[in-house]
Chain A
Amino acid sequence: MNTVAIRRPGMHAARRGQVMRLFGTAAGLAPFAVFVTLFLILPVAQMVAGAFASPGGGAGLDNFRRALAPQYLEAFRTSVALSVETALVGAVAGTAVAYAVAQGELRHRRTLVITFCTVTSNFAGVPLAFAFITTLGVVGWVTVAFQAVFHVSLYNDLGFTIYSYLGLVLVYTYFQLPLMVLLAVPACAALRREWQEAARNLGAGAWRFWRDIGVPVLAPPLIGATALLFANAFGAYATAYSLSSGAINLVPLRIGTLINGDVSFDAGLANALGVGMTVVIAAAILVYQAANRRARRWMR
């Protein structure tokens, strides 16, 4: 009996302390929670809700049905093609550079290449578009020099223009390449020389080593990096905006026109396209995450 009588007030105090503590912990998290809710969660929720809202009120798939119109399907196709192509070109060339720098002949230049890539991977958007126009535009110096040397005009004879799909491929590749190098150098550097030696010691030749160890070890981080490049290109807006002036049919540009234009303003349709775009990017990011979770076990 006595023990109970003594313990009761203590328990109250303990429980009150616990509640106070919980309250204090929650209070510390409040600024972040409120901020993220208002400016990240709610905007995305608004987009999703708006996409599923019917123009006449209530829920419906009207916006998605309209988003399946040929010109929007075409936009998705073009965006996916552009992102896949530039991600693959970036991945292959970037891996080659990263391997040379991490394992190959240019190991002594690693810092230089990484510094260079850190800087150039941040060159993007409008200024980058201008740089390409002044180089490969109608009066860009490469265009002019090409004509002078080969007596063939890139524009008039070969039908090239920087304001085309091919032009976008060239410009996107510019920011994909250094990003891939930055992602692939740690992956290539994690391929330890002792693994190669241990494999050879057990009788495996070079080909056998790559098949059994080299490729399986490099594949996860490199696939993950390629998925990230895809997402990177798929979401890009500024570069495409200043290069295509609306002539190329890409999803981000479509959304931009739908929310910025006076005549074409159509938030419902923009929301549906935005949901589609987010789903594609989320899928790519999931691939990146899954591949990286595997690679992180041996990459430090």
Chain B
Amino acid sequence: MAFLELEGLCKTFGHAAALSDVTLSVERGELVSLLGPSGCGKTTTLRIVAGFETPDRGRVLLDGRDLTGVSPERRGFGMVFQQYSLFPNMTAAQNIGYGLRVARRPSQEVRRRVGELLELIGLPDAGGRYPH
């Protein structure tokens, strides 16, 4: 059994069918890209995996566990949004560290991780700036 399994996902919005019978297996550590023209259901698939949409039919399994009905904040998936969706009331550093703070990691660790990541993307001095 693969790490992440999508089984026969179907989703319609009104009359428009977004997904019909999507099945996919992803192994741990595997890199998968979904390619296709706009409107073909890539985003809908990801939103179902992340838990923002409920499929009309089909299941999402993680490590054999059915995720249907698990709320997004309890799934532990990372997702990068199409518009970056930076929180406007937080600085760059606060935005980066938000997930760790929600996960109640010690503030020292959060500070260290944020510093590393800002360094990594080459913006070590931009941490105090706001997104706008």
A and B bound? yes
Contacts of B132 in A (CB 8 A): 297-298
Contacts of B89 in A (CB 8 A): 213, 216-217
The CA of A203 and the CA of B103, in the complex, are separated in Å by 7
A191's nearest neighbour on chain B, judged by CB, is B88
Chain B binder among A106-114, A193-201, A265-273: A193-201
Q: Is B13 an interface residue (CB 8 A)?
A: no
Say whether B85 contacts A297, CB under 8 Å.
no
Total A-B Cβ pairs within 8 A: 63
User: Chain A 262-300, CB within 8 Å of chain B: the 1/0 string?
Assistant: 000000000000000000000000000000000001100
Say whether B98 contacts A199, CB under 8 Å.
yes
Q: Is B79 an interface residue (CB 8 A)?
A: yes
Known: A194-B85, A195-B85. A200 touches B99 (CB 8 A): no
Q: Chain B contact residues (Cβ within 8 angstroms of A): what range?
A: 20 to 34
Say whether B88 contacts A298, CB under 8 Å.
yes
Interface residues of A, count at CB 8 A? 19
Q: Is A202 an interface residue (CB 8 A)?
A: yes
Chain A binder among B31-39, B60-68, B69-77: B69-77
6 more A-B contacts (CB under 8 A) besides A194-B83, A213-B90? A194-B81, A199-B98, A203-B102, A208-B73, A208-B102, A213-B89
14 A–B contacts from the bound complex (CB under 8 Å): A195-B85, A197-B52, A197-B81, A200-B72, A200-B73, A201-B72, A201-B73, A201-B79, A203-B99, A204-B98, A204-B102, A216-B89, A217-B88, A298-B132
Chain B residues packing against A (C-beta within 8 Å): 50-52, 71-74, 76-79, 81, 83, 85, 87-90, 98-99, 102-103, 130, 132
Chain A residues packing against B (C-beta within 8 Å): 192, 194-195, 197-205, 208, 212-213, 216-217, 297-298
